[in-house]
Amino acid sequence: MIDPLSIGVSIEYIAEEDRKSKNPTVWIIGSLDSFTQSKLISTLVDISVEDGKPKLEKLAQDNHPDFVIVKYGLKGFKNFGDVVFKSEKVTLFGQELEEVSKDVLKVIPLSVIHELANVIWRGNKVSEELEKN
C-alpha cells in the first residue's frame, strides 16, 4: 500500500552530523504536496522538446533544487546558535506558502541543506530510528 503524504504535519529532525551532539540543532520540517513539488520542478529547469522528446536545456539561474525545497519545507528550528527563524507568506502557483528568508538559508551549512532537502522531498517519511533522534 502507498502511504499518502503527511500534508500540514511537521516533524523534528536532527541532521546526521549532529546526532551524537549533546545539544543538537533540531530542524522543524514539513512536507510539500504533490502539486507544489511538480510546480517547483518546473521552475528548476528549462526544458525544450526536440523530435518529440524532452531535452534539458539548463538549470534555471539561482534555483539550486536543494535551496528551493528547503525554502518551502523548513518550518523552523531549535538551538541554531543565535539565528532567528524568519519567513514570509508568498503566493506561488496560486497558493499561499511560507518562504524561508535568504538571510536564514545562507547560514545553514550546505551539507545540512542537502540532507533537509532529501527528507522534505521524500514527504517526511523518516524511519522510526531517525524519529527517536
Segment 7-22, tens digit of pLDDT:
778 899 999 999 999 9
Q: Tell which wins on pLDDT, 108 or 60.
A: 108
**Residue 42 within a domain:** yes
Residue 69 has pLDDT above 80, yes or no: yes
Question: What is the 3-state secondary structure of 76-120?
Answer: EEECCCCCCCCEEEEEECCEEEEEECHHHHCCCCHHHHHHHHHHH
**Residue 30 within a domain:** yes
3-state secondary structure of 60: coil
Whole-model pTM? 0.78
**Residue 103 within a domain:** yes
Q: What would the mean pLDDT of 91-106 be, rounded to a whole number?
A: 90
Domain of residue 15 covers 10-126
Query: CB-hemisphere CA count at 13 Å for 57?
Result: 11
3-state secondary structure of 69: helix
**Residue 131 within a domain:** no
Segment 102-129, tens digit of pLDDT:
999 999 999 999 999 999 988 755 544 4
Q: Tell which wins on pLDDT, 131 or 121.
A: 121
Cell triple for 51:
523530435
Torsion angle, CA of 15/104/120/126, rounded to 10 degrees?
30
**Residue 22 within a domain:** yes
**Residue 2 within a domain:** no
**Residue 96 within a domain:** yes
Number of domains in the chain: 1
Phi, psi of 100 (to 5 degrees): -70, 140
